Amino acid sequence: MKSTTKTKAPRYQGAEPPAEESWSLRLYVAGQTPKSLTAFANLKRICEEHLEGKYRIEVIDLMVNPQLAKGDQILALPTLVRRLPAPVKKIIGDLSNTERVLVGLDIKPLL
Amino acid sequence: MAQRIKKVKSSLEPLQKCPTGIKGLDEITGGGLPMGRPTLVCGGTGCGKTLLAMEFLVRGATEFGEPGVFMSFEEKSEELTKNFASLGFDLDTLAAQNKVALDYVHIERSEIEVTGEYDLEGLFIRLGYAIDSIGAKRVVLDTIETLFSGFSNEVILRAELRRLFGFLKDKGVSAIITGEQGERTLTRFGLEEYVADCVIFLNHKVDQQIATRRLRIVKYRGTAHGTNEYPFLIDEQGFSVMPISSIGLDHAASSERVSCGIPRLDTMLGGKGYFRGSSILVTGTAGTGKSSMAAHFVDAACRRGERCLYFAFEESRNQIIRNMRSIGIDLEKWVNQGLLEFRNSRPTLYGLEMHLVTMHKAIESFQPAIVVVDPISNLVAASNDQEVKSMLSRLIDYLKIKGITAFCTDLTAVGGSMERTDVGISSLMDTWLLLQVMEGSGERNRGLYILKSRGMAHSNQVREYCLTDNGAQLQDVYVGSGGVLTGAGRVSQEARERVDILERGQEIERKQRDIERKKAVIEAQIAALRVGFEAEKDDLEQAIAREVMHQKALVEETLAMARSRKSDDLPPGRVTAKAGKRGGK
């Protein structure tokens, strides 16, 4: 599970790793389904809005690397895993409900 | 394995089955679970669902060359490995050999935040990956209902489950899905609506504080199957089902005879003893020597080198050995030689069905020629008469099919009729020995008779027998004025006979002495007569000699006279006589 850098689609690759508070997010998808594309778009948007400059997104396509599903106990897709900061959190779904994503990720709205 | 069948997608082929390797289950399913299809195993908590599923998988991997994936939703892989190590399943090694893959799926609702549309593709990918990585032919999902606790959206879940079962079928794997029993449904979340091919229901019922596990095939599409509730057993060898109800009455009957261990009893049984493979019942009140009869039979069988299995429901192994030593039977020797094995248990230890399954298993593993059940009446403690009867009839049928001689003892209640058994199984028995206490003249003596013995001539006599240092001994029959004499009556009769014999012997001796005496007298008389005769004979001979001399002298004188007269007118006779005499001179 450590070698998660071998993800597909570098075009998904998010922003540069930040210095102080770093957010490591991992999005599990299965192929480029509408759901996974929606999820990635939503994630990207939320991160840009709330975590600008201090996040990193890894996208793992389980169609390509099915063996990676076991490590993070992935069942539902898409699943977003917050690896850092601890504790690990899991959010399933296409992330269309922004409020719940923020609650799930424990991000205080910037308002 | 002949049963290992290649997947054939032809609709003309009969339903292919996937052998489970579980004792008994393959028999009642007619060869195994449906191949390439999912099977639902449901039941209450602790009824053995996981074990059944795991054994299906492990046996598939080890005996049928079919690797399997175990996807656990409840127990972690390490826990599973540990739990099944006690059953002799080495999951670590099997996993290392790529024969079994364990995948623990952790679901924790509090960790899951739902934020929109999702599906369970991740589960499919994991399962598909596990199947493909070892080329699995079998899959277990234990228990997939846990998903319902993790995901609140039942609409998605049910759609995904339906897709999952379709996915399993497409993969062509034989799968077991376990499910917890619901209140009114087979499974709490209605899994049975997705698995339409085969449903097995496990039940753990407690009756009179005795728990019995039972298995029933609720449905099995496209094939005949046993429909009863079959008891099953979970022990250190895993899962075993006993298809005891499916036994028919078509066993072979041997005409070979086996000695019952008591020579004089053999004589009563047509001179040769019991039939091999028959069922023998010994009934009697307490203390009539039923177990001793059993011990004799066992001892005789072990002497012939046959294996015996002794189910004792009253005494411990050591107690039986000690007690039988007192009548000169050393059973320990046979135990040490591995010819005799004791299985001691209290009847209330578990239910009757379980007893039957246990016995069945013990018989299968020990392969005895003789099975002793001592006593069957005690089994009533575990259940009611009717059930005991049905259980025993199944046991005896089973033993007959295997050609095993069954020796059962039965304790008759004091005061009840002697010629009935508490559990009414006498009609199942081929040979029935009745032991009874004969009371009279202030003592109790043991009597034995053969109430029935199918297919052989047998003695109709009531025989007394004693338990001596050299085993049970049948006594001679003494019929007195009041019937058969037993005990002291017999002993005094024996004494009387001994006196009679002694007296008769003395009489003969006396007569023989008389003869001797008479002979001596007569011989003495003969001797005296002979002496007298000798004396007389001497006298007579002397007289004869004298007469001869006298006559000679007379002739001489006559001749001399004639010569002096110069006469020649001697009569010719005389002349010849004289001439003769003269010529002789």
| Of B328, B329, B291, the residue nearest B310 (C-alpha) | B291
What domains does chain A contain, in order, with CATH numbers? 15-104 (3.40.30.10)
Q: Tell me: do B31 and B51 sit in the same domain.
A: yes
So what's the pLDDT on residue B266? 87
What global pTM score does this model have?
Answer: 0.66
So what's the pLDDT on residue B531? 95
Final residue in a domain of this structure, among B245, B276, B303: B245
So what's the pLDDT on residue B6? 46
**For residue B481, is it within any domain?**
no
Q: Tell me: do B241 and B263 sit in the same domain.
A: no
Q: Tell me: do B499 and B469 sit in the same domain.
A: no
Question: What stretch of H or E contains B312?
Answer: strand B308-312
**Radius of gyration in angstroms for the set of CA atoms belonging to chain B, rounded to a whole number:** 48
DSSP conformational letter for B15: P
Terminal Cα-to-Cα distance of chain A (whole angstroms): 36
- The residue among B113, B141, B154 with the most chain A CBs within 10 A of its CB, best to mutate, is B113
Q: Find the domain containing B230 and state its range.
A: 17-245
A106 vs B552: which has the higher pLDDT: B552
Q: Tell me: do B180 and B327 sit in the same domain.
A: no
Tell me if B383 sits within 8 A of B212, measured CB to CB.
no
Q: Chain A residues with CB inside 8 Å of B150's CB?
A: 75
Question: What stretch of H or E contains B113?
Answer: strand B112-114
A93 to B121: CB separation less than 8 angstroms, yes or no: no
A90 to B112: CB separation less than 8 angstroms, yes or no: yes
Q: pLDDT tens across A25-62, in order?
A: 889 988 888 888 888 898 888 888 888 888 888 898 88
- DSSP 3-state assignment of A92? strand
Domain total in chain B: 3
Phi, psi of B451 (to 5 degrees): -75, -40
Q: Tell me: do B234 and B261 sit in the same domain.
A: no
Q: pLDDT tens across A63-76, in order?
A: 888 888 888 888 88
Q: Tell me: do B468 and B513 sit in the same domain.
A: no
Q: Tell me: do B143 and B240 sit in the same domain.
A: yes
Q: Tell me: do B279 and B219 sit in the same domain.
A: no
Compute the nearest-CA separation of A10 from chain B (Å).
21
The shortest CB-CB distance from B116 to any of A63, A67, A97 is to A97
**For residue B585, is it within any domain?**
no
Query: How big is the CA angle at B340 (ends B337 and B345), to the nearest 5 degrees?
Result: 135
So what's the pLDDT on residue A20? 55
On whether ipTM exceeds 0.85, the answer is: no
The shortest CB-CB distance from A62 to any of B116, B119, B122 is to B122
Nearest CA in chain B to A29: B122
**Radius of gyration in angstroms for the set of CA atoms belonging to chain A, rounded to a whole number:** 13
**For residue B156, is it within any domain?**
yes
Count of alpha carbons within 13 angstroms of residue B165, beta-carbon side: 21
**For residue B485, is it within any domain?**
no
**For residue B195, is it within any domain?**
yes
A91 to B115: CB separation less than 8 angstroms, yes or no: yes
CA B508, B513, B518, B520 dihedral sign is positive
So what's the pLDDT on residue B482? 58
Alpha-carbon distance B347 to B375, whole Å? 10
Q: Cite the DSSP H helix spans in B226-327.
A: 263-268, 290-303, 317-325
DSSP conformational letter for B571: -
In tens digits, what is the pLDDT along chain B, a chain of 585 residues?
444 444 444 455 677 888 888 878 888 888 888 888 889 898 888 888 888 998 999 999 988 999 999 999 888 888 888 888 888 888 888 888 888 998 888 888 777 788 888 888 888 888 898 999 999 999 999 888 888 888 888 888 888 888 988 898 998 899 998 888 887 777 777 777 777 688 899 988 777 677 778 888 888 888 887 777 887 878 777 787 776 555 555 667 788 888 888 888 888 888 888 888 888 988 888 888 888 888 999 999 999 999 999 998 888 889 989 989 998 889 889 999 999 999 888 877 777 777 887 888 888 888 999 999 888 877 776 667 777 777 788 788 888 888 889 998 888 776 656 565 655 677 778 888 888 887 777 788 888 888 888 888 888 888 888 888 888 888 877 776 656 677 777 788 888 888 999 999 999 999 999 999 999 999 999 999 999 999 999 999 999 999 999 999 999 998 888 888 877 665 555 544 444 444 444
Nearest CA in chain A to B109: A90
Compute the nearest-CA separation of A67 from chain B (Å).
7
**For residue B5, is it within any domain?**
no
Interface of B with A (CB under 8 A): 103, 105-107, 111-123, 125-126, 128-129, 133, 147, 150-151
Compute the nearest-CA separation of B132 from chain A (Å).
11
Q: Tell me: do B179 and B234 sit in the same domain.
A: yes
So what's the pLDDT on residue B439? 78
Q: Tell me: do B303 and B230 sit in the same domain.
A: no
CATH number at residue B21: 3.40.50.300
Nearest CA in chain A to B156: A76
Final residue in a domain of this structure, among B222, B245, B268: B245
**For residue B9, is it within any domain?**
no
Interface of A with B (CB under 8 A): 28, 30, 35, 38-39, 42, 62-63, 66-67, 69-70, 73-79, 88-97, 100-101, 103-104
Compute the nearest-CA separation of A8 from chain B (Å).
17
Q: Tell me: do B495 and B453 sit in the same domain.
A: no
**For residue B456, is it within any domain?**
yes
Q: Tell me: do B531 and B558 sit in the same domain.
A: yes
Compute the nearest-CA separation of B91 from chain A (Å).
19
